[in-house]
Chains A and B, each alone.
Chain A
Amino acid sequence: MTDTAAETLSVVVEREVAYPPEKIWRALTQPHLIEEWLMKNDFKPVVDHRFNLRGDWGTVDCQVRTIELNKMLSYTWDALGLKSIVTWTLTPTSAGTNLRMEQSGFRQDQQQAYQGAGYGWQRFFATLEQVLARID
């Protein structure tokens, strides 16, 4: 929490998956498959294409930034005031694929705005109540 205002925050999830990159690529880029593991969508593997991901709780606005077949996919991810970029990297390994997801591009000062504007106090307090109930 001591990050400077200019610093980028990011989330990285990385897993060794027992399938070849080509197969994972299909799951990442075909709308009916994306829907099965992520959300309903109108994704197209075309640079600059704008699409939405639609969940029960709302919509994520996205735009495709980079596509490298079977290797790398990147799109913007804007939701609840959070402006970020999601980048998928697929690296073949002897056992399958190293699949890496990084969500980044979000600085500490923007995070403040995100908390204030998008989040909604009611939701925050509801969550807090739940957490507190679990602690006791």
Chain B
Amino acid sequence: MRRRDLEQVQSPKLIVTPEPHDVLFRVLADPTRRALFEQLCRKGEQTVGALTARAGVSQPAVSKHLGVLKQAGLVRDRQNGRQTHYSAQLGALAPLIDWTSQMASFWQNRFDQLEDLLKRMDQ
């Protein structure tokens, strides 16, 4: 009984902790979807109609892609009369553009160079 409890406590953690990256990568791996998202990032809020005009695919296809983006938290929709307006949610990209991981590799690299320099310096 006790062992089962432990497993139940641990397993969700194992599923959740790995990567919010995975979802975002999967969602943005599709070129059409990525183009839609990029369009919203660059131009701000737009209607499904306006997005379809540029997307080169049918409106149902655009709506489907927007649904996937919405599920991943990358876009938000807003109903205004008969029109649905979509906007990009930049915060959802946080796991991808996490500055700390970028700076960590930057500093690791600089530490290497610093050690090289120390080797070359006289006492």
Contacts and interface: CB of A to CB of B under 8 A. Distances in A.
Interface stretch (B1-9, B47-55, B74-82, B90-98): B90-98
A13 B118 contact: no
B41 to A, nearest CB: 5
A106 B103 CA distance: 12
Interface residues of A, number: 34
A15 B115 CA distance: 10
A91 interface: no
Contact of B28 (A13, A119, A128): A128
B110 A10 contact: no
A115 B111 contact: no
Contacts of B108: 13
Contact of A128 (B94, B96, B104, B116): B96
Interface in A96-118: 99, 101, 103, 106, 111-112, 114-116
The secondary structure that dominates the A interface is helix
Interface string A22-37: 0110110000010011
Interface of B: 20, 25, 28-29, 34, 38, 41-42, 90-91, 93-97, 99-100, 103-104, 107-108, 110-111, 113-118, 121, 123
Interface of A: 1, 9-11, 13, 15, 17, 19, 23-24, 26-27, 33, 36-38, 82, 99, 101, 103, 106, 111-112, 114-116, 119, 121, 124-125, 128, 131-132, 135
